[in-house]
Structure 1
Amino acid sequence: MKQELKLRIVSGLILAIIVLAATWYGGFIFRILAAAIALLIYYEWSVITGIARDPVTNVLGWVGEVLVALLVLAGAFDYALGMLIVLTALGIAMIFLHRASRWFAPGLLYAGGTGLALAAIRGDETFGLYAMLFIFAVVWATDILAYFVGRTIGGPKLAPRISPGKTWSGAVGGAISAVIAGAVIVHFLIPEAQDRAAVIALVLSVFSQSGDLFESFIKRKFGVKDSSRLIPGHGGVMDRVDGLIFACFSAFLLAGLFSLIKGGGMTSLGAALLGL
């Protein structure tokens, strides 16, 4: 086994243990993880897109993202959402007032929204744990099976200009496996959520694959191979969580909609996502 592959496997296992342990404990421990992921994503985004080279924009971005992260750490998800909306609007205004990069506002939303979505879905309740395990199962099944099915069957390319290696067969295989993985998790943990599990798993799988393509587009546009070298053998944080980001965004929006319909708040989004 090559040294690079060994390094990739070891670091991958360590990351999985950290993420699953934090997810299991939940509460402040998981919010630390969510906030850290958000800040690391913003770091990588700012470097890739060149935002880091503009002192004014860079400082504003970091101040805003740290404020969002602190609100996420405090569990003040409503305030974090409000801050993120204001920050994104300010980022758009900076394009006109300061001629900031057009990638500034999307980066603020991409990074801050990731931390908020992760923390709000996990929450402090058991159903939040189940919801995150459901999302992880869907995203990981999509990622792994899309790769193997695509390599085995091949066929027409999904988006050759963005990611030449991805195929339609892989996309369909990943989506089917995601539905199966989600159904298994729900069957054993929350059988009362079976009615909507398959549909939600399919939606999350589609968004997960869209997130993967989006990050590939960003890296191709700016001519980088990896988002950074923060993770030995894997590249950067964005490289590892690209699918999870979009899956969590979609889960956050769906859960928020379901919660709004039921008259709930942002404290039980995990339960809302699963219809509980």
Structure 2
Amino acid sequence: MTGGAAGGGRPKASELKLRVISALLLAPAVLAIVWLGGWFFAAGAALCSMILLQEWTVIVRATRQRAAIVVAVVGIALMLVAAALSLTPLALGLAFAFAALLWVWGQVSGEAPVGWMGTGVLYAGLTGVALIAFRLGSEGFVMILFLFAVVWATDILAYFVGRRLGGPKLWPRVSPKKTWSGALGGLAAALVVGAAMGALVGRVPVSLWIVSAGVLSVFSQAGDLLESALKRHFGVKDSGHIIPGHGGVMDRVDGLTGAGVVGYLVAAVLAGSLVDPVGAVIALQGY
């Protein structure tokens, strides 16, 4: 979503065409994996996490830290297996244990990139863990569709509204193209998604769907800004070039990381449980 959400300026026609074609090709595949669920979805989430780690490694200039990379890969693999086995607390424990190991290793060795790999374990690993945990929940299929719809709507409308209206910048020091008009346009789109899901799915009041969509939209845009801040810190334009017109996978799922990870943790706090927190929150409300 970098350069997209809450953005300003005019997109090049060729870039926009590539974005549309890539989205049309990737969206059906993603939705098919969501529908299949189970180990198919876990495998897709794992692939996403590993690509995120690879891109993170390049951004933070840790490609020569081979031992640290191996530790990070092993840590994320164990986290994802634990999540796929519905052992979410164990997965989170492993995430912070491996991150702490790499942080301490970086401090002791004086190798800053090793420490950054610890943060990468959290960023890439928790993205996969949150997605898998959401999908395994009692409302898993609907919640993943809702999460994706909110993030995609936020991204798309922020991109076009920001470029059409322009105006004051959202955070120029971190992402000079993002505007307040784009951010509010993305938020408005997410609220519409919430209302639509409430009308179509029901289960809980429409107002709860709308509020949840708004919160996830904010988290999504925060994830976008976090990635922008990381790339600006290291002087990197795109996280990669794997997706034509979009850059790297991180450029596309930064908002999903923000909304998925923080959204899951907020639900867990509200439910008082890391296991199926969305289902637990719904049950606590008596629905």
Q: Is the pair's TM-score, using the shorter chain for normalization, greater than 0.5?
A: yes
Give the counterpart letter for 1:107 in structure 2: G
Partner of 1:15: 26
**2:283 is the counterpart of 1:271:** no
Cα distance in structure 2, aligned partners of 1:131 and 1:273 = 13
Q: 1:148 to 1:252 in 2, by over 3 A?
A: same
More deviation in 111-120 or 143-152?
143-152
**2:220 is the counterpart of 1:212:** no
Cα distance in structure 2, aligned partners of 1:41 and 1:246 = 14
TM-score (norm 2): 0.87
> Which residue among 103, 111, 116 is the counterpart of 1:103?
116
Gaps of 5+ in 2: 1-11
* Deviation, structure 1 residue 3: 6.2
Partner of 1:43: 54
The 5 Å alignment of 1:180-259 reads: 180-259=192-271
Partner of 1:117: 130
Cα distance in structure 2, aligned partners of 1:244 and 1:258 = 20
* Deviation, structure 1 residue 238: 0.2
* Deviation, structure 1 residue 154: 1.6
Give the counterpart letter for 1:158 in structure 2: L
SS at 2:170 equivalent: strand
Note the alpha carbon deviations across 1:190-217, whole angstroms, 9 max, x for none: 3424242222211111111111111112
Q: CA RMSD of the aligned region, Å? A: 2.1
Partner of 2:64: 53
More deviation in 107-116 or 87-96?
87-96
Cα distance in structure 1, aligned partners of 2:281 and 2:103 = 30
* Deviation, structure 1 residue 72: 3.1
**2:171 is the counterpart of 1:159:** yes
TM-score (norm 1): 0.90
Q: 1:97 to 1:201 in 2, by over 3 A?
A: same
Give the counterpart letter for 1:87 in structure 2: F
Cα distance in structure 2, aligned partners of 1:155 and 1:167 = 6
Give the counterpart letter for 1:120 in structure 2: A
Q: Aligned residues, how many?
A: 271
| Percent identity (aligned) | 45
